[in-house]
Amino acid sequence: MGFSNFSQTEKQQKDSQFHLRIRLRYGKTKALRQLDLFSSSANSPTKNLSIMQKLLFALTTLFVPYFVMRVLIVDPQFEGSPDIEQDVLGPSYEIIVWQTLDEGPVSSSVFEKCDALINCRSRHPVTADIVAKMPNCKIVSQAGVGYNHIDLEACSKNGIPVCNVPDYGTMEVADHAVTMALALSRGIVAYDTKLRSKAMGWNAREQLTVRRIKGLTYGIVGLGRIGTATALRARAFETKIAFYDPYLNPGVDKAFGFQRCNSLEELLSISDILSLHTPLNDETEKLINTENVDLVKQGQIIVNTSRGGVVDLDAIEKGLKSGRLSGAGLDVLPTEPIDYEHPLLKAFELSEEWLDGRLIITPHAAFFSPSSVKDMRRIAAENILNFFENGGLRSCLNLENLTSFR
């Protein structure tokens, strides 16, 4: 655990007090087995405590009753019992599952009793009001990558670390992004749709957007875990990989043999396929918009498997209608579930002729496979176990702003 605003000695004292507080609060017997109270070892959590404090800790621990921890799971990505979570956490943790679509908003009494929260979907925002309803909550684990729906400031002020699961669906999202690009490049969806509706004969030449994939420039916005996985898959089809990521250290382009662009506009102008892999924040909201869509290379395909707000749907409509874009694959939308009132989505619903099979939409499904969901559930539960048992924080989103813990 790192606290950049503390000296090393202060950090050690803070870590010691933090670990001891967890053990005192929950009376974990294995902490006693692992702890030499009077050790002067640098690894001993009690190294910086006085003799009286150590004695008080020992006596208190002997009489602290065994507490059952309550973990609340809201809107999980599974049906049935939380078997994976229970296997991870063990019998000393009681799991409460709450589905807001079936049961309505989580009751205040349930929030009040939870020691930890596993939040599973963005439709259940963890606002400052929700944080205030959880006086006993020590940690929030977001079962997924996105966290725009969590008030990190409110959690930090209340000493609640927030951890996510950024790596559970890396392979699935990369597979999905490349599959969308390939389907659009080869006219798969267009052929299928036209043949199903008898809108074309047995003539491959009727789909004018089909092209050879080898030699195309495959542009990546955001070369993180998923962006890199996507690039490596795309390169297997003998495409040229270019990317734009202003936060990536120099030299990554040389290590992979990719072309690095110095601006988004440069990448837009050279990419035959553009794949978006960025978080949603003030900098990336409407990253693709009605102004810069005019700058894209003629006939470009845009694929978005990141966050819906990164792309302005008006820009996609404009680009497809003008022919500047030859296709678009959208797994995420600014408003979910899909809002068919937007002109582009209304045209998609009605299969209007001008779209010509050039728009693919999937229901925020890029992350999904039975295997990825199992990984997500397991890691979300491990975040909680690791915190309570070891004081560890994996992929903590607000660590820099935490000055104390509950």
Annotated active-site positions, please? 307, 336, 364
Of 127, 110, 123, nearest in space to 71 by CA: 110
Distance from chain centroid for Cα 392: 20
Of 224, 155, 168, 112, nearest in space to 381 by CA: 168
CA angle 371, 169, 314 (to 5 degrees): 130
CA distance 73 to 135: 17
Of 108, 153, 70, nearest in space to 388 by CA: 70
**Residue-by-residue DSSP string for 278-345:** ---STTTTTSB-TTGGGGSPTTEEEEE-S-GGGB-HHHHHHHHHHTSEEEEEES--SSSS--TTSHHH
218 and 241 Cβ atoms separated by less than 8 Å: yes
291 and 312 Cβ atoms separated by less than 8 Å: no
238 and 216 Cβ atoms separated by less than 8 Å: no
Q: Which two tokens stand for residue 103?
A: 């049961």
Longest dimension (CA), the chain: 89
- Which strand ranges, in their side-by-side order, compose the sheet holding 93-98? 93-98, 69-74, 116-119, 139-142, 162-163
Kindly give the pairing relationship between strand 217-221 and strand 139-142.
unpaired
First to last CA, the chain: 16
Q: 299 CB contacts (<8 Å, ≥6 apart)?
A: 209, 211, 272, 323, 324, 325, 326
